[in-house]
Amino acid sequence: MGNVRNKIVLKVGLQGLFLLLCLLVLQPQPMNYAQDFPDVCQESENILQNCDFSQGLNHWEPFLETGSADISVLQGGGECHAPLCPAAYIVSANHFIGGIKQQVSVEKGRNYYANIVWLVFDSLVNDASINKATGGIGRRIGIDPFGGTDSTSSNVVWSEDNWRNDCKICNVEYVTVTAQADTITVFLRIDDTWKLRASEQGFPIPPSNDKFWIDDLGLKPVGGEPIAVEEPAPTEEPTATPVPPTDTPAPTEEPETGELQRLAQVESTEEPAVSDEAAEAEASDEAVEEADVAEESSDDAAAEPTEEATGEPTEQSESATSEPTNTPIPPPPTLTPTNIPPPTATSPPRPSPTLRSPGSSLALAGDAEASSAMPLSLNTVGTLGCIGGLGLAFVGAMMAGLVWLYRLGWGQKETDAEFESENVYNDDVGYEDDDDDDYYDDDDDAYDDDEA
């Protein structure tokens, strides 16, 4: 009886242990962000110099937008929290926004991919409550395709701004651009201003240092053949249009009032004389016209004038000539001064200068080449495969457990039957046999299994 009970306990314990292992396997595991994330610094295609800081800070230039921080390189030891020391080391007792940068000679028009593998930090902001209240620390990597060195320039193309603190290696700091010049600049930027935000919200912040470990920044060409880059159109500077000189009218001398009155009196006295002379002139004109008509009618060779207007001048015959007559010359007209101002010259409108806007020459990597250049992430495929495999393993384990339980129950029934057959009779009691199936006790006394 005790042996059977031990077997049952052992089998139940094994089944419980098996189920516990299944639960542990099926429990959601933290995602491996390093999956399929290339370490460009360790690849032969890398063109970033001193990417692993084995030469200290050579070829790297620190930059600071605000605050204060100290940067150095740790060669090893307990303070170098990096898989492959040496590593860059930044410490700030207060706050700062800054990082490191490097200019690289490249082929204009080609696509380039940059990333960083190791960027971890130690700070009080890792506390969940503080991080929730202040927002954490931001990290990102960027490239200026024009080769500028200003991290605040709008030309810099940045990666995703990573504010997480639940992963040591999040591997989201990567970027791809098309070089617009023969030199590009790689930036690594850290926004460690959470203490300022905490102070603004009234949270007490104990004195502490924020520490950062940086290693394995890489840059490599991707995307195949170079892409033609359009040159920006030169901007024409506006030229000043010369202003034409304006004709200034000469000042008109206005006659005085006394002189005007005198001239008016002279005109009134001369008008009758002018009228008599005009009458005599008209009479002489009529006499001349009558003489001309008489001469024209007597002369047959004279040409008659036509009344129709023609575009060409009419030729007169040499015979149709008239002798000049003495015509009295009329007296010259009297000039009366007027106050009409002389016309002034109007200056033509001055054309306004026009500015030509330079064409935009910034072009990111094309969709097709950028997508082929970007490292393919297989997180989704790997996760689904893992879940599917664990699901199949769990189903198999359940089936095996059911079979085991079934076999365990069957063996128990056989054991119970043997137990009853062996212990149903008392060795000290005699039985009478009525069906010729005699049994004997330990004293060789016969007994029957049907009657006592």
Span 375-384, pLDDT tens digits: 444 455 566 7
**Lowest-pLDDT range, 39-43, 138-142, 234-238, 346-350?**
346-350
Span 256-280, pLDDT tens digits: 555 555 555 545 554 444 445 555 5
Q: Is the pLDDT at 411 greater than 70, yes or no? A: no
**Which residues lie below 8 Å from residue 83, measured CB to CB, with a gap of 6+?**
118, 215
pLDDT at 98: 97
**Which residues lie below 8 Å from residue 230, measured CB to CB, with a gap of 6+?**
359, 361, 363
Query: 433, 447 in Cβ contact below 8 A?
Result: yes
Q: Is the pLDDT at 440 greater than 70, yes or no? A: no
CA distances to 60, 278, 336, 443 from 274, in Å: 108, 6, 15, 195
> How many residues does the structure list for the chain?
452
Cis omega before residue 324 (within 30°)?
no
pLDDT at 310: 45
194 CA to centre of own chain = 26
193 phi and psi angles, rounded to 5 deg: -120, 25
Q: How many CB atoms are closer than 10 A to CB 96?
A: 21
Q: How many CB atoms are closer than 10 A to CB 132?
A: 10
pLDDT at 135: 85
The C-alpha torsion from 195 through 102 and 183 to 157, rounded to 10°, is -30
Whether pTM > 0.85 for this model: the answer is: no
Residue 108: pLDDT band with limits 50, 70, 90:
very high
Give the helix/strand (H/E) hosting 5: helix 2-26
The C-alpha torsion from 127 through 129 and 130 to 133, rounded to 10°, is 150
Q: Is the pLDDT at 70 greater than 70, yes or no? A: yes
288-322: b (≥16 Cβ within 10 Å) or e:
beeeeeeeeeeeeebeeeeeeeeeeeeeeeeeeee
Q: Is the pLDDT at 451 greater than 50, yes or no? A: no
Give the C-alpha separation, 32 to 378, whole Å: 11
Span 150-182, pLDDT tens digits: 999 999 999 999 998 887 778 889 999 999 999
Tokens found for residue 237: 């500077």
| pLDDT over 70, % of the chain | 50
pLDDT at 191: 96
Give the C-alpha separation, 184 to 418, whole Å: 88
Give the helix/strand (H/E) hosting 438: strand 438-440
| pLDDT over 90, % of the chain | 30
Q: Is the pLDDT at 251 greater than 80, yes or no? A: no
- Mean pLDDT, residues 358-371 taken together: 40
Q: Is the pLDDT at 149 greater than 90, yes or no? A: yes
Tokens found for residue 96: 């700062």
Q: Is the pLDDT at 244 greater than 80, yes or no? A: no
Tokens found for residue 261: 């009155």
Residue 10: pLDDT band with limits 50, 70, 90:
confident
Residue 81: pLDDT band with limits 50, 70, 90:
confident
Span 11-58, pLDDT tens digits: 777 777 777 666 555 544 433 334 468 999 999 999 999 999 999 999
Give the helix/strand (H/E) hosting 403: helix 379-423
**Lowest-pLDDT range, 24-28, 120-124, 128-132?**
24-28
pLDDT at 151: 96
Range with the largest mean pLDDT of 15-29, 319-333, 356-370, 425-439? 15-29
- Of the candidates 151, 158, 97, 92, the residue with the CA atom closest to the CA atom of residue 121: 92
pLDDT at 321: 46
